[in-house]
Amino acid sequence: MSTDHDKAKAFVGRLLQNPSLRDFSELQREEQIIQFLHVNAAQLGPTLSTPQFFAGKNWNQIFSILLNALYELVNDELLPKLEELIRSKLDLAFLRHMRQTRVDDELVQKQLIAFATDVLKKPDARRNFTGAYSALVFGIADRYLTVAFDQKKYVHFELTKVQRLRMNKEETRNFVRLTLLLRPIVNLGMSTAATQQERSTGMVQSQFAEKVMHTAKSEMKYIPEQALKSAVDASLSFNENRFVEATSRLAAIFAARSRSYQPNMRVDRGADSPDKSWISVSRRNYKYYGFDIKMLDELYKIAAENNW
Amino acid sequence: MGTRTRNVLENIVLAAIILVLLQTLFEDLAVVLDWSIGVRRVLLIFGFFFDLFFTVEFVVRSYEAWRYGRLGNYFWYERGWIDLLASIPLLLLNSGPAVLAILAGGVSVVGVAGMLNVLKVVKAIRIARVLRLLRVLKIFRRIKNAESVMAQRHVAMISATTVSVFVLVLLAATMVEAFVSAPSLDARYQQHSFDMIELISSDQMRRAPALRTSLLKMDSAVLLVRDSGSVVFSRHPDSYYLRHFGPGDYGYIEARGVELFVDLRPINQEQSATNIRYFVVIIAIVLIYMFVYSPHFAMTVSDPIHIMRRGMSEKAYNLEVIVPGQYRHDDVYELSKLYNEVFLPMKDRSSGDETEVSALKMDDLKDMFE
């Protein structure tokens, strides 16, 4: 006789295999399923509480069982992919520009894998990581940075002259990738009592960011302070903190964009492209989300030129 | 009636519409190119069966609509009036009489007195055949770039209006011509025939048969002359008449024992050539509406509305409407600008932390719960 957990895994596994979710990243699929369970609770509750499924359990209990099964199944897929991403797709050579002493990449990679494993234990952090992870999976940051470096306009100026990164294009792309990977660092210390705006924009207050930075420095010794600061500041509003690094501002935009990114999305005739539409809306809401409007302007032009 | 059966029937009707258009074109082409009477007979009989088919279709559709209390809706809003105009009048006034004439095997124009008026009425009826083209509007439903019901309705409306006005004005003009004496090729032809019978039936000509034959030879409209029952002149051998002449291709006048058969094919050919011109003009109009105006309407009216409707009804839909510079002052695009610049940003802010709407549907689990 199968246990509730097995049944839940079978049920959730079936949802994960649904063809309509095929193109999404693992965390996007997870969000889709959680949303599906929330929206259809009224219909699913009575059916799933029958003897065939979870006899005698109320919806909250069933939801909890399903959620744990979902996290487990998603982690089974996600953790190996994250490890592969960290070990083979994230070139950490750029870190040499940020510290005096040499640190073995293996130690950094292990710390990053441990961080990712920790992040995935917290539901809020998982949610915050969805956009950043999808940006890494779909290569959103890479494609924009490639064009921005070629065009050498505002984004390039901010990265090379203001943030003073002495890195080439590939190294800068890896720095932004690392920033995206570490972005949910703020969630590791965040209380569940975050304000509505903090939850909806993913932004935090600067005092809180300082505390996170302080803790992170002591706990993630192999990651240079500059990289940690870039990741923590990626959750700060640029409108309230004008010193936020260019890599952080870019990571904030790419993470927000990628959260709702749908690869192979069918665009209706007469509608603008998905990226262009998203950036256009974000330009109008830049204050609310704390984005850098000039960066959005440049990314908008890049999206328009490339029909992204 | 099941959806599948209905689709099969609709496809049969669609095929019939395309075939009847070809039949209409070929029927006139056969007259212009002087194809053999056998081929023209086959085309006429096909035309009759198509008219019968569309008449039955109209009656069935009307009955169905009446049964469900929506006859007015069918007639006025679902273009039932086109179904009517392109079926019963054609059956009763065009293909029906033509097939009856074939079955009777006789001439369609009898007697001197009725000849002129009958020819004019026949001419008017032949113009009515162009009404068949209105049925092509049904194909609008199948046009790929006009999926929007509104786009279909607007384009069908404007096409139906243009085509029906064109055809009805032609019909009215021909009817007026039939009852108002005016100089025309037909009238001249008829007058010439009257003059000819007067001349060849005169005592003077009857007494000079060689002169009469020479005169008849010179007039290409004269086919055959009989005097007191005996053939005194024939332009072609009998086999030629059998092969090339059917009802309506010749006229018959009799005076003082002399019978004159005149060739009406030049008039018919002229009329058929005119019909083909009308046919081509109407086809061109309909095709232009279909392939030029319809996409334009879809792109500048129904597409932006479709995008805005999705944006307003679907939580996860956030694509902006492209506002073309040349149409930016159109009402639709003014509204689109508000949608892009006000509605979407507001919707984005108000959606907050909510995840996008799930791509999953309850139906996806149907078999699990069964």
pLDDT along chain B (370 residues), means of 10: 80 84 89 91 91 92 93 86 82 83 60 48 58 61 63 81 83 77 77 91 90 92 92 93 85 90 90 86 85 89 94 92 96 97 94 64 75
Q: How many domains is chain B built from? A: 2
Binary contact (A32, B356; C-beta < 8 A): yes
Strands laid side by side in the B222-227 sheet: B230-234, B222-227, B258-263, B250-255
A 10 A CB-CB count for A75 gives: 17
Q: How far is B246 from chain A (nearest CA, A)?
A: 55
Is residue B327 situated within a structural domain? Answer: yes
Q: Which of B211, B234, B268 is the last residue in one of the domains?
A: B268
**Which helix (H) or strand (E) is B250 found in, with range?**
strand B250-255
Domain span at B218: 185-268
Give the separation between CA A125 and CA A116, rounded to whole angstroms.
Answer: 10
Which tokens go with B331? Answer: 């009402």
B170, B177 Cβ separation under 8 angstroms: no
Closest CA to A255 of A228, A233, A222: A233
Any domain includes B98: no
Element (H, E) at B233: strand B230-234
Q: Specify if B8 maps to a domain.
A: no
Residue B131 lies in a domain: no
The 10s digit of each residue's pLDDT in A120-163 is 999 989 998 999 999 999 999 999 999 999 999 999 999 999 99
CA atoms within 13 A on the CB side of A242: 1
Residue A22 CA to residue A29 CA, distance in Å, equals 8
Query: Which backbone phi and psi does B194 adopt, to 5 degrees?
Result: -60, -45
Q: Is A154 on the interface with B (CB under 8 A)?
A: no
Nearest to A246 by CA among A306, A298, A300, A302: A298
Chain A interface mutation, best of B360, B363, B368, highest count of A Cβ atoms under 10 Å: B360
Cβ partners under 8 Å of residue B50, min gap 6: B16, B19, B20, B23, B95
Q: What pLDDT, on the 0 to 100 scale, is given for residue A193?
A: 47
Q: Please, which residues bridge with residue B254 across strands?
A: B259
Candidates B306, B321, B359; nearest CB to A20 = B359
Phi and psi torsions of B235, nearest 5°: -75, -35
pLDDT of residue B114: 46
- Asked if B264 and B318 sit in the same domain, the reply is no
Contact A291, A249 (CB under 8 A): yes
The interface predicted TM-score (ipTM) is 0.88
In B, minimum Cα distance to A47 occurs at: B369
Residue ending a domain, among B268, B284, B301, is B268
Residue B196 covered by a domain: yes
> What radius of gyration do chain B's Cα atoms show?
30
Please report, to the nearest 10 degrees, the dihedral formed by the alpha carbons of residues A48, A51, A57, A63 taken in order: -30
Helix/strand/coil for A211: helix
Give the closest-approach CA distance of A120 to chain B in angstroms.
18
pLDDT of residue B43: 92
User: Rounded to whole angstroms, how far apart are CA atoms A222 and A104?
Assistant: 9
Q: Where are the alpha helices (DSSP H) in A123-168?
A: 123-138, 140-151, 154-157
Contact A200 B352 (CB under 8 A): yes
Which residues of chain A are under the pLDDT cut of 50? 192-193
Is the CB of B168 inside 8 Å of chain A's CB atoms? Answer: no
Tokens coding A74: 């998603």
Q: Are B146 and B294 in contact (CB under 8 A)?
A: yes
Give residue A140's identity as a one-letter amino acid code: I
Decide if A155 contacts A221 (C-beta within 8 A): no
* Residue range A169-211, pLDDT digits in tens: 999 999 999 999 999 999 876 554 455 555 566 788 889 899 9
